[in-house]
């Protein structure tokens, strides 16, 4: 992949000397699709993870994190920098893997790796403690594949963190109806998110697989 037309985006991380730096195809000329740009919901999720790390409520030492639809990788790479003893697996479609690998190299993220994962067909041998999804429900044709892949890859103790910018409420309700078949979830209140990097149009949810006790 030729990165000459790509531009850099930097996200400052509290208590770290260097920001997270990713290349993005803001012009769309590289033909990688919308996943090759930084989305606001990803920034909100990254900063929520930063806030949890700073206040001591998030410790991912020796834990594995799987990011679905990682795009530029900015969320997972931010977490890799904040939680250096964790293992971060950045996944997306095949055409975005070169960009993810390049951004891993840019940040010297030795605890991160890129892996192809198609929501329609693929699974993974990764057993994640945490799954990250940012703006994975912006189009209605993604709802069923996302619900399906979460059902395939989440374990009984996996924590799912999903952030999205609201666009068409009726469509988003349909996704949550699909997700609720196998998961329970709740929203993260604005007061519990990053004090600055949050938005009334961006929501963060936490979900877990439903218990099978008594089934």
Cα-flanking dihedrals φ and ψ of residue 201, to 5°? Answer: -100, -5
Q: Does the pLDDT at position 73 exceed 70?
A: yes
CA distance 50 to 58: 9
Contact 122, 69 (CB under 8 A): no
pTM value? 0.95
Sheet holding 64-68, edge to edge: 112-116, 87-92, 64-68, 130-134, 159-165, 202-209, 183-187
The span from the first CA to the last CA of the chain, in angstroms, equals 49
**Cα atoms in the Cβ-side hemisphere of radius 13 Å centred on 101:** 9
Give me the mean pLDDT over the 31-36 stretch: 85
pLDDT level of residue 212 (50, 70, 90 thresholds) = low
Cross-strand pairs, 184:
208
Which residues does residue 115 pair with via DSSP β-bridges, in sequence order? 91
Instruction: Give 98's contacts (C-beta < 8 A, 6+ positions apart).
Output: 1
pLDDT over 70 at 213, yes or no:
no
The mean pLDDT of 133-140, rounded to a whole number, is 96
């Amino acid at each position: 992949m030729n990165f000459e037309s790509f531009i850099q985006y930097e996200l400052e991380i509290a208590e770290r000397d260097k920001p997270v730096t990713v290349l993005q195809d803001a012009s769309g000329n590289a033909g990688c699709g919308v996943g090759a740009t930084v989305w606001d919901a990803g920034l909100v999720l990254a900063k929520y993870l930063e806030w949890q790390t700073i206040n001591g409520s998030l410790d991912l030492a020796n834990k594995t994190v799987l990011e679905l639809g990682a795009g530029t990788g900015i969320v997972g790479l931010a977490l890799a920098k904040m939680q250096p003893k964790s293992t971060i697996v950045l996944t997306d479609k095949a055409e975005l893997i070169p960009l993810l690998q390049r951004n891993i190299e840019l940040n010297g993220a030795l605890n991160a790796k890129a892996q192809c994962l198609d929501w329609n067909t693929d699974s993974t041998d990764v057993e994640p403690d945490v799954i990250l999804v940012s703006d994975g429900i912006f189009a209605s044709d993604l709802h069923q594949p996302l619900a399906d892949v979460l059902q395939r890859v989440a374990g009984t103790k996996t924590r799912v963190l999903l952030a999205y910018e609201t666009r068409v409420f009726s469509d988003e309700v349909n996704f949550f109806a699909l997700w609720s078949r196998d998961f329970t979830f709740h929203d993260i209140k604005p007061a519990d998110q990053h004090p600055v990097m949050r938005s009334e149009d961006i929501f963060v949810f936490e979900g877990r697989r439903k218990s099978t006790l008594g089934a």
